[in-house]
Amino acid sequence: MNKLCNYLLLGMITFGVFTFSSCSKEDPVPEKDQEEVGKTSLLLQEVGWDGDFRTGHPHAIDGAAVDTIAFDEQGNAPVGFHLHLHTGHSYKLTLIARDYAGREIQQTFLDRADIHQAVILGAPTGVLDYTYGDNQVGVTGYLHVVKGASTFTLQYLMRHLNPGVKAGVTADDWNNTNYQSKLAGATDLDLKFELHPVE
């Protein structure tokens, strides 16, 4: 009889351990990466510009066309894409980023402005200037064509900065070719397209 009681007691304890350990909590829900980017586009629209490039301000031009550059998942523009922008003109440059479900996520870069900043590379010296249109992030900004040049590949990088780096970065670093050390961190987006500044 004692053996039977011991087996029953052991069975109930084992059953209790398995029951409580397997049902004690729900399966964890993985955190969604808010910067998991699927497709991106850059929109360029001519604007009027009053004042210098650092402290001036834009104004809309009625009926100004919008050029849309849709990039593949590797950040490349369509094969053969070539954009002409005119010397002495300014263009509003807007980033549209979508996650793999098609939802717009560029607001994430703005919400975390302390660790994001766009860098624009590839232009010959003195050809372009740039003004951030947001909190020095570059989701919206203004590209100014200062002088003409031959066709070049413009590169738009959205940097994910290491903690504390942004404090040492200014708006003048918009085209810093030493970005890997000055804007230390990782690259969230690397977009490229051919640009030809014309007279």
* DSSP-assigned letters across all residues of 184-199: -EEEEEEEEEEEEEE-
Q: What is the CATH number of the domain that holds 148?
A: 2.60.40.1080
Residue 6, in any domain of the structure? no
Domain-embedded: residue 50: yes
pLDDT beyond 50 at 73: yes
pLDDT band at 35 (very low <50, low <70, confident <90, very high): low
pLDDT at 191: 96
Torsion angles phi and psi, residue 118, rounded to 5 = -85, 145
pLDDT at 30 over 70: no
Tell me, yes or no, whether 26 lies in a domain: no
pTM: 0.80
What CA–CA distances, in Å, run from 53 to 17, 88, 170? 70, 12, 14
Containing structural domain, residue 59: 40-198
Q: How many residues can be counted in the chain?
A: 199
Whether residue 86 lies inside any domain: the answer is: yes
What percentage of residues in the chain have a pLDDT greater than 90?
73
Is 30 inside a domain boundary? no
Average pLDDT over residues 68-82: 92
Residue identified by tokens 């399966």 is 27
Helices (H), the chain: 2-22, 106-111, 179-182
For residue 102, being part of any structural domain is answered with yes
Q: How many domains does the chain have?
A: 1
Q: What is the pLDDT of residue 54?
A: 84
At a CB cut-off of 8 Å and minimum separation 6, what does 66 contact?
43, 44, 45
Q: Is residue 87 part of a domain?
A: yes
Answer whether residue 8 is part of any domain: no
**Residue 65 confidence (pLDDT) above 90:** yes
**What's the pLDDT score for residue 12?**
60
State pLDDT tens for residues 126-174.
Answer: 999 999 999 899 999 999 999 999 999 999 999 999 999 999 999 999 9
Residue 29: the pLDDT is: 40
What pLDDT score does 89 carry? 96
